[in-house]
Amino acid sequence: MYEMVSDSFKELNSFITKGHDLRICILDNNNVQFCTQHDKYFPVDKIYGYYDLILVPGWVYAEIAQSEHRRQYISSIPQQLLYMDEATDYLPLVDYHDLKLMKVFANASSPGSKPHRYLKKQIQEAESGRVDIDDEWIVNYYENGFDSKEEGMIKKNAGETSILALAFLLVHHYGNKIKQISISTSDFAVVEIKKKIMDYSSKHNLLNVPTINPISFLSTDVLLARAFRMGMIGETELIYLRKSTHRKRVICIVRNNDGTVVPVDTVMETEDFLQLLKGNEPYDIIF
């Protein structure tokens, strides 16, 4: 493939190579929608001021741009904000190794899903030597490997795949330049797929990603817990903001005084979630 470097990748590369211990946030449309609807509780400077760099994959931006309010919300983020195009900006992160990127994309989608099956066939053909990898395979993958949503140009789960692939590619390419990558999403599938990528990568030496990797999740419950802890919202506001999902899966740990922890992974009512936040035991919301 012709090694074309886009302006967005040049900016990304320059920003990261000049920095150290960088904190990066990758946006998903669902959390942008949540913050946009409740921006008086989640002003952009309070939510994103912690990070050095905000990234938006192309297929995520396609969803965000369906709403002018969402588009304006992210454009008002005061931090460095870059839009990453999957077709031009992902390959340089694996030194233009097409087959490696194919495997990253394949593992960044749910097993048995349409995009996974689409790439699995192409990977098998490429590894057998029967078919050369087409220069336009990334464009074709997003166009033909995903089902379209009602909006037509929006592809179902394309943003999820783009986000997970980008997070792991950044860690692989830039290593210890990056201290933290927070994926701002409330799509629980990303948690399971992250585990899948880690398992595959460790078994097949796909990416240079440490076992203790810097990828975490900025879910709506993480946002709510942080806002509650900081006094940005109270009990009434938390109940109101969690109203659309009173029962929601929560992953967290509760710390005991003896240094042990209680892992929690359960569907939690809002009242139970509130009691956790109000309790005396230290806790960490993972998702």
pLDDT band for position 70 (50/70/90)? very high
CA nearest neighbour of 243 among 222, 269, 218: 269
Q: Distance (Å, rounded) from C-alpha 190 to C-alpha 38?
A: 24
The 10 Å Cβ neighbour count of residue 35 is 23
Percent of the chain past pLDDT 70, that is, above it, reads 96
pLDDT band for position 2 (50/70/90)? very low
Looking at per-residue pLDDT, the higher value among 244 and 158 belongs to: 158
pLDDT band for position 151 (50/70/90)? low
pLDDT tens per residue, range 83-105: 999 999 999 999 999 999 999 99
pLDDT tens per residue, range 213-235: 899 999 999 999 999 988 889 99
Reply yes or no on whether the pLDDT at 171 is more than 90. Answer: yes
Looking at per-residue pLDDT, the higher value among 212 and 264 belongs to: 264
Measured between alpha carbons, how far is residue 243 from residues 34, 36, 236, 269, 271 in Å?
Answer: 12, 16, 11, 10, 11
pLDDT tens per residue, range 109-150: 988 889 999 999 888 888 887 777 888 999 999 999 988 876
Percent of the chain past pLDDT 90, that is, above it, reads 60
Number of continuous H segments (helices) and E segments (strands) in the chain: 14, 8
Q: Distance (Å, rounded) from C-alpha 277 to C-alpha 77?
A: 28
Residue spans per domain, the chain = 7-218, 234-285
Structure tokens of 89? 């900006």
CA gyration radius, the chain: 20
pLDDT band for position 185 (50/70/90)? very high
Within its chain, how far is the Cα of 227 from the centroid? 21
Reply yes or no on whether the pLDDT at 163 is more than 90. Answer: yes
Q: Which residues contact 98 (CB under 8 A, 6 or more apart)?
A: 1, 91, 126, 133, 137
DSSP bridge pairs for 269: 247
By CB atoms closer than 10 A (0-12, 13-18, 19+), residue 274 is middle
Reply yes or no on whether the pLDDT at 56 is more than 90. Answer: yes
Q: Distance (Å, rounded) from C-alpha 37 to C-alpha 258?
A: 41
pLDDT tens per residue, range 261-283: 999 999 989 999 999 999 888 89
pLDDT of residue 61: 94
